[in-house]
Amino acid sequence: MNGLGGLNKSPNGVVIGLVQLQLPNVVTSADLAMQTERIVWMVGKARRNLSTMDLVVFPEYSLHGLSMDTNPEIMCRLDGPEVAAFKKACLDNKIWGCFSIMEFNPHGNPYNSGLIIDDHGEIKLYYRKLHPWIPVEPWEPGDIGIPVIEGPRGAKIALIICHDGMFPEMARECAYKGAEIMIRTAGYTAPIREAWRFTNQANSFQNLMITANVCMCGSDGSFDSMGEGMIVNFDGTVLAHGTTGRADEIITAEVRPDLVREARINWGVENNIYQLWHRGYVAVKGGAMDCPYTFMQDMVAGTFRLPWEDQVKVTDGTSCGFPAPTRMFGKTAKAAE
């Protein structure tokens, strides 16, 4: 059930609205200011649209568009005017909001960051995209992990961004840290439509987790984003799906985190996130409780290497017009010193 898109809200329900925002073309600081005003207006529309809505979600690139421009003039800061405007919009409309910014990084390329702001105008979640969509995106890889917060009505919420959702490890990490609802914001275009749909459903089912997923929508004159707002229940059932591609439409549904908790505790068959560590518990007490996965062991050891590693052709962003990087990342940089 989804309570007729949230019109009939149950005592334990959380109503989510996914904004299939019109894809903008942002080049200057003036463009950025105008798009900020547009998003603020859409927060108000969300509240007017549905008085029961708890959380309104804007897609990745909703503020900056898809140009991949790293011009410092249009990069944002957490203490900047754009974030301040989003905070005020959430406070004024008494609604939680999820927003996307391209964040200035004084030490390298900008971060692709996401924020969840509560209905008092406070930042409750701050996330940096772990897996930029390479080789197309120039953003610095995230370095703060995946935070999980207590959101509206006590729901445990995580946020990942676009390409993150193509890695099953990302959704599993969200669930492992307690997320009952995983938000996935994106700027994807039509060639990714089918992969978008089945990964959203798989991310939900494999982790007994609700997912709320939305892309930008419409054209900026060069790119065509697809909308495709999808709210998926913990069993993989699609509760709401924006298939019309109509820009600025808000896709809504009521979700039930309490039923997620119930399933995670009571399911036997297909309780996969529990069974990952307790494989074969019918045959051996408690299950095997080992790590039989070589790739996990090798990642921890810093020795991950594909059998076809030396044959991979695209290993930097030069094919998309970006210079080959020379700077190392985090622990890798320290190890090379």
- Angle among Cα 294, 299, 301 to the nearest 5 degrees reads 95
98 annotated active-site: no
121: three-class secondary structure by DSSP: coil
Residue from 9, 87, 129, 156 carrying the catalytic annotation:
129
60 annotated active-site: yes
Which residues, including other chains, have CB under 8 Å from residue 258's CB and lie 6 or more apart? 12
Residue from 76, 90, 98, 162 carrying the catalytic annotation:
162
In angstroms, the CA 305 to CA 298 distance is 8
Say if CB 151 and CB 96 are below 8 A apart: yes
In angstroms, the CA 115 to CA 163 distance is 17
Element (H, E) at 210: strand 210-215
In angstroms, the CA 119 to CA 134 distance is 35
In angstroms, the CA 252 to CA 131 distance is 27
129 annotated active-site: yes
Residues with catalytic roles: 60, 129, 162
